[in-house]
């Protein structure tokens, strides 16, 4: 399952399921799943493991105590830190505490709370706060999290790393806030966007989902998903033997102001190697005779290109001059599929009348802003975009009637009807010049081969990130991966996906 629900929906699902289940059932399931995940993380047999379980005042703490019981039963030595008086725990959590104590879990005496880092733990379980976190962590909670974050052992967060906003992937309290830096997170019922976007991946580590066997009848139709090839596999079609280059469409990359001639070349090479039949590069000025490394590309003055017969990838290194504005206006007038990137987006942000033209276009557009470009388009600051990436991507998609890829850690793909996909592939190797040009070229190639915009965007983002992941696994990055190196890896992955289907 790849559905993602906002916390408000998870609450409704939980409440509906709890009405039909005996009390304490879901917590038992969550705790058992957490105990199993913890056992898998142990580098030693259970009877040699010393596990610290941090239990907060709510049901996240209850999950932790239930997991503690399971781990003690499996033979681990388990110490639980519980600041809340047992009488103040919610009923399910109180039951979990009683069970944990029956299984031999010890409660840490309060005078030791400040010294949790004096012992060597095999594993720490973070059950301080889950989706009930309502304000920044301060006081003793903050000190506790600081101590945990300094520990060298693995940390398993339950549901959400404490301190992280599960919807937005921001630390509650912003720059002054704090959250647990987990190596692993086991999240319950359904995935949450905040584990995969913004700062979320840095805090959540590797994420596992435990659905708690909640029946489908309790799950509303989602409008958010985690990206995976199943979402675009309908278009991973093998080529017919009876094909010719015209079968796979044309891409024209429009950009390349003086000093930026390489940007459209990167996009064009990506388009060619992801299967476009023919690829043109239309320069705002001074086109090179050809691309020596990829002579298949046809480099021309943009004024000489036919804008009506190709998928247009507009903006890479295009600059902000009047000539660039004229090219963007021409592209918006053309009856072609459009991918708008970089300076096309910056120009658009300055030109309200072009924004209206874009929103009313018959053929909708795929836009690939990074957070600063998104901020310019929405008249906000970059930090306001990053504070809620899902909402920002949705706003752009609906304002411009476009498919929008908001780039950055955990790219968000949004559609004008509010559907959102959060992308889990990719790593900091992609934070390099030209990486966005390659992405826009992949988008163009898939559109030229007849993919619908939504699936083209999902596939392009997934492939781009996955290629970087595979290269990093081979030691090619994250330091020093260059954007051009992504292109052959993306080609390999695309062919593999088609063959596997």
Ligand X SMILES: NC(=O)C1=CN([C@@H]2O[C@H](COP(=O)(O)OP(=O)(O)OC[C@H]3O[C@@H](n4cnc5c(N)ncnc54)[C@H](OP(=O)(O)O)[C@@H]3O)[C@@H](O)[C@H]2O)[C@H](O)CC1
Positions that interact with ligand X (CB under 6 A): 14, 18, 26-27, 30, 56-61, 63, 90, 92, 129-137, 141, 158-159, 188-189
Residue nearest to K ion (CB): 162
From the list K ion, ligand X, none, pick the one residue 188 interacts with, judged by a Cβ distance below 5 to 8 Å according to partner type. ligand X
Structure tokens at 191: 């995935």
Smaller CB distance to ligand X: residue 30 or 327? 30
Residue closest to 461 by CA, chosen among 368, 340, 377, 394? 368
Q: Which is nearer to ligand X, 80 or 385 (CB)?
A: 80
Do 122 and 153 contact (CB within 8 A), yes or no? yes
Start-to-end Cα distance in the chain = 18
Q: Is 20 annotated as a binding residue?
A: no
Name the binder of 131 from ligand X, K ion, none, CB < 5-8 A by kind: ligand X
Residue number, 126 or 388, with CB nearest to K ion: 126
Strand runs labelled E in 211-277: 224-226, 250-255
Which structure tokens are listed for 96? Answer: 């979990």
Which of these, 101, 96, 89, 79, lies nearest to 132 by C-alpha position? 89
Q: How far apart are CA 211 and CA 28, in angstroms?
A: 13
Answer for the pair 305, 280: CB distance below 8 angstroms, yes or no. yes
Q: Is 136 annotated as a binding residue?
A: yes
- State how far the alpha carbon of 284 is from the alpha carbons of 240, 372, 439, in Å: 36, 23, 21
Residues 490, 274 contacting (CB under 8 angstroms): yes
Residue 191 counted as an annotated binding residue: no
The answer to whether 62 is annotated as binding is yes
Residue 126 binds: one of ligand X, K ion, none (C-beta under 5 to 8 A by kind): K ion
Q: Which is nearer to ligand X, 210 or 257 (CB)?
A: 210
Is residue 370 a known part of a binding site? yes
Nearer to K ion, 200 or 277 (CB): 200
Residue 137's binding partner among ligand X, K ion, none (Cβ under 5 to 8 angstroms by kind) is: ligand X
158 is a contact residue toward K ion (CB under 5 A): yes
Asked whether residue 336 is marked as a ligand-binding residue, the answer is no
363 is annotated as contributing to ligand binding = no
Q: What whole-number distance in Å separates Cα of residue 204 and Cα of residue 7?
A: 16
The tokens 């596939």 sit on which residue?
Answer: 459
With CB under 5 A as the contact rule, which of the stretches 88-96, 98-106, 155-163, 426-434 interacts with K ion? 155-163
Structure tokens at 271: 């388009």
Output the 3-class SS for 184-225.
EEEEECCECHHHCCCCHHHHHCEEEEECCCCCHHHCCCCCEE
Q: Which H helix or E strand runs over 106?
A: strand 106-107
Q: Is position 126 an interface residue for K ion (rule: CB under 5 A)?
A: yes
Three-class DSSP category at 71: helix
Residue 26 or 493: the one with the smaller Cβ distance to ligand X is: 26
Which span sits near K ion by CB under 5 A: 80-88, 149-157, 307-315, 317-325?
Answer: 149-157
Residue closer to K ion, measured from CB, 158 or 439: 158
Q: Cβ 209 to K ion, closest distance in Å? A: 15
The least CB distance from residue 201 to ligand X, in Å, is 19
Q: Give least dist CB 113 to K ion, A.
A: 17
Binding site, annotated residues: 59-63, 126, 130-136, 159, 162, 263, 317, 370, 407-411, 436-437
Binding interface with K ion (CB under 5 A): 126, 157-158, 162
Binding site, annotated residues for K(+): 60, 126, 162
């Amino acid at each position: 399952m790849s559905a993602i629900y906002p916390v408000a929906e998870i609450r409704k699902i939980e409440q509906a399921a709890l009405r039909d289940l005996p009390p304490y059932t879901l917590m038992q399931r969550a705790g058992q799943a957490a105990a199993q995940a913890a056992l898998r993380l142990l580098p030693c047999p259970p009877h040699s493991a010393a596990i610290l379980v941090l239990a907060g005042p709510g049901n996240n703490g209850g999950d932790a105590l239930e997991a503690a019981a399971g781990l003690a039963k499996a033979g681990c030595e388990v110490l639980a830190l519980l600041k809340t008086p047992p009488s103040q725990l919610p009923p399910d959590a109180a039951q979990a505490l009683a069970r944990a104590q029956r299984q031999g879990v010890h409660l840490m005496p309060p005078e030791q709370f400040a010294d949790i880092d004096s012992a060597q733990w095999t594993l720490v379980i973070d059950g301080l706060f889950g989706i009930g976190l309502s304000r920044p962590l301060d006081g003793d909670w903050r000190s506790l999290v600081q101590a945990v974050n300094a520990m060298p052992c693995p940390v398993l967060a339950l549901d959400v790393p404490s301190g992280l906003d599960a919807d937005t992937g921001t630390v509650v309290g912003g720059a002054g806030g704090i959250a647990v830096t987990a190596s692993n997170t086991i999240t319950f019922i359904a995935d949450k966007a905040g584990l995969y976007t913004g700062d979320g991946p840095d805090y959540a580590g590797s994420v596992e989902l435990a659905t708690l066997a909640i029946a489908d009848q309790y799950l509303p139709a989602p409008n958010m998903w985690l990206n995976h090839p199943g979402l675009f596999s309908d278009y991973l079609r093998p080529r017919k033997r009876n094909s010719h280059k015209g079968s796979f469409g044309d891409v024209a990359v429009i950009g390349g102001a003086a000093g930026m001639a390489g940007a459209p070349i990167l996009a064009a090479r990506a388009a060619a190697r992801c299967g476009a039949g023919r690829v043109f590069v239309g320069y705002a000025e001074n086109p090179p005779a050809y691309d020596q490394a990829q002579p298949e590309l046809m480099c021309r003055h943009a004024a000489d290109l036919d804008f009506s017969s190709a998928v247009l990838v507009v903006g890479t290194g295009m600059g902000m001059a009047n000539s660039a504005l004229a090219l963007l206006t021409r592209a918006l007038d053309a009856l072609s599929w459009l991918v708008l990137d970089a300076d096309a987006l910056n120009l658009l942000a300055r030109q309200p009348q072009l924004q209206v033209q874009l929103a009313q276009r018959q053929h909708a557009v795929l836009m690939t802003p990074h957070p600063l470009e998104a901020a310019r388009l929405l008249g906000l600051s970059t930090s306001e975009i990053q504070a809620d990436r899902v909402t920002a991507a949705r706003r752009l998609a609906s304002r411009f009637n476009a498919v929008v890829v908001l780039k950055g850690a955990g790219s968000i793909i949004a559609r004008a009807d509010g559907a959102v996909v959060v992308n889990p592939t990719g790593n900091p190797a992609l934070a390099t010049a030209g990486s966005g040009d390659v992405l826009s070229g992949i988008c163009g190639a898939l559109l030229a081969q007849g993919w619908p915009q939504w699936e083209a965007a999902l596939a392009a983002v997934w492939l781009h990130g996955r290629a970087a992941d595979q290269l990093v696994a081979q030691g090619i990055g994250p330091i020093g991966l260059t954007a051009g190196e992504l292109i052959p890896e993306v080609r390999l992955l695309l062919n593999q996906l088609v063959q596997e289907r």
